[in-house]
């Protein structure tokens, strides 16, 4: 899948050496909205509700499954709480478990970027609001599991993004400062979490920012692909870190 090209905007210099990189999952590493839309379609049909266009469902992605289901219900003029929500959520989870990863694909430049960062000795991790029951099978089905030494899912910590807990949890596991982690995401949820935690954040323009352009986000730079992110990190290493070379 071809990501959109990012505009040539200034990149803020990294204030500390980057020791690790945390990635959002849906919309940053993987194009997963077709699986989510198919699960929503099946769940809605099971409950006797009309389907929702897949492009619109993609705009509902970003704050976890509960919010996605609530947005589907609100769009259809249905109650987004109580038995209607609970029944649709249960149906969605069941169908998504079967469909998870079936249509998901890595965005252009993802594996090149991951390979380059791993070769440089950077620690890599995933930070997603998706539940662990879906995160780990998805990474495995898309041949990504081996890249990440830390995977933080939406039910790993008490609070999800945009709270800083998940980033702080990863930092504790790695034994590194939060300021030495670069977060790469695709939405305001990601940038808010990074800002709350105190780490730099880059965004990609091709993901799921709830239908809004990423140019207005509070980030330190926009990268068109993860391959470009790796190349930009290589330049930052030349300025910030004499003891290690980005290979």
Residue length of the chain: 247
- Judgement on whether residues 65 and 135 belong to the same structural domain of the protein: no
Cα gap 229→113, rounded to integer Å: 7
Residue 8, domain member (yes or no)? no
- Of 69, 94, 95, residue with least CA distance to 83: 69
Is the pLDDT assigned to residue 69 strictly greater than 50? yes
Q: Is residue 3 part of a domain?
A: no
Of 79, 99, 119, the residue that ends a domain is 99
Which of 76, 99, 122 represents a domain boundary (last residue)? 99
Positions annotated as catalytic residues are: 24
What is the average pLDDT across 45-50? Answer: 95
150 forms beta bridges with 125
Residue carrying structure tokens 């969605």:
92
Report the C-alpha dihedral over residues 219, 184, 176, 13, rounded to 10 degrees. -40
Residues 178 and 228 occupy one common structural domain: yes
Range of the domain at 88: 33-99
Locus of tokens 């266009």: 53
Over its C-alpha atoms, the chain yields an Rg (Å, rounded) of 18
Query: Region 209-237: what's the mean pLDDT?
Result: 90
Cβ atoms 177, 171 nearer than 8 A: yes
126-153 pLDDT per residue, tens? 999 999 999 999 999 999 999 999 999 9
- Ramachandran angles phi, psi of 183, nearest 5°: -100, 135
What burial class does residue 197 get, using C-beta atoms within 10 Å of its C-beta: 0-12 exposed, 13-18 middle, 19+ buried? buried
SS3 per-residue string spanning the chain = CCCCCCCCCCCCCCCCCCCEEEECCECCCEECHHHHHHHHHHHHHHCCCCCCCHHHHHHCCCCCHHHHHHHHHHHCCCCCCCHHHHHHHHHHHHHHHHHCCCCCEECCCHHHHHHHHHHCCCEEEEECCCCHHHHHHHHHHCCCHHHCCEEECCCCCCCCCCCCHHHHHHHHHHCCCHHHEEEEECCHHHHHHHHHHCCCEEECCCCCCCCCCHHHCCCCEECCCHHHHHHHHHHHHHHHCCCCCCC
pLDDT band at 6 (very low <50, low <70, confident <90, very high): very low
Residues 150 and 180 in one domain: yes
Domain count, the chain: 2
CA 237, chain centre distance (Å): 24
Average pLDDT across the chain, whole number: 91
Res. 38 pLDDT band, cuts 50 70 90: very high
- Same domain for 134 and 75, yes or no, is no
The average pLDDT across 155-184 equals 97
User: 163 with 228, same domain?
Assistant: yes
**Per-residue pLDDT for 13 more than 70?**
yes
pLDDT at residue number 242:
41
Mean pLDDT of 81-86: 94
Q: Mention every residue, 6+ apart, whose C-beta is less than 8 A from residue 59.
A: 208, 210, 211
Instruction: Examine the pLDDT at 116 and tell me if it is beyond 60.
Output: yes
> 123 and 193 share a domain?
yes
Parallel/antiparallel/unpaired status of strands 30-31 and 105-106: antiparallel
Nearest in space to 182 (alpha carbons), one of 236, 129, 131? 236
Whether 90 and 68 share a structural domain: yes
89 and 117 part of one domain: no
pLDDT value at position 56? 93
| Residue 241: per-residue pLDDT | 46
In Å, how far from its chain's centre is CA 114?
14
Does residue 234 form part of some domain? Answer: yes
Same domain as 144, residue 38: no
125 and 173, same domain (yes or no): yes
Confidence band (pLDDT; 50, 70, 90) for 63? confident
> Does residue 233 sit within a domain?
yes
* Prediction pTM value: 0.89
């Amino acid at each position: 899948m071809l990501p959109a090209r990012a505009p040539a905007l200034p990149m803020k210099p990294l204030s500390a050496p980057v020791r690790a990189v945390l990635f959002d999952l849906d919309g940053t590493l993987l194009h997963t909205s077709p699986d989510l839309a198919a699960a929503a379609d099946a769940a809605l049909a099971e409950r006797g509700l009309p389907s929702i266009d897949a492009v619109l469902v993609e705009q509902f992605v970003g704050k976890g499954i509960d919010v996605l289901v609530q947005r589907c219900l609100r769009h259809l003029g249905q109650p987004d709480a109580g038995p209607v929500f609970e029944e649709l959520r249960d149906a969605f989870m069941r169908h998504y478990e079967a469909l998870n990863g079936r249509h998901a694909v890595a965005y252009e430049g993802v594996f090149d970027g991951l390979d380059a960062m791993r070769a440089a000795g950077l620690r890599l991790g995933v930070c997603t609001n998706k539940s662990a029951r879906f995160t780990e099978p998805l990474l495995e089905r898309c041949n990504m599991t081996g890249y990440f030494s830390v995977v933080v899912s939406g039910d790993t910590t008490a609070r999800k993004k945009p709270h800083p807990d998940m980033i702080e949890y990863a930092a504790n596991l790695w034994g590194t400062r939060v300021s030495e982690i670069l977060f790469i995401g695709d939405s305001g949820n990601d940038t808010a979490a990074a800002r709350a935690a105190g780490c730099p954040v880059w965004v990609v323009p091709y993901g799921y920012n709830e239908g809004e352009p990423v140019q207005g986000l509070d980030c330190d730079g926009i990268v068109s692909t993860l391959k470009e992110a790796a190349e930009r990190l290589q330049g930052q290493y030349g300025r910030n870190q004499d003891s290690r070379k980005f290979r």
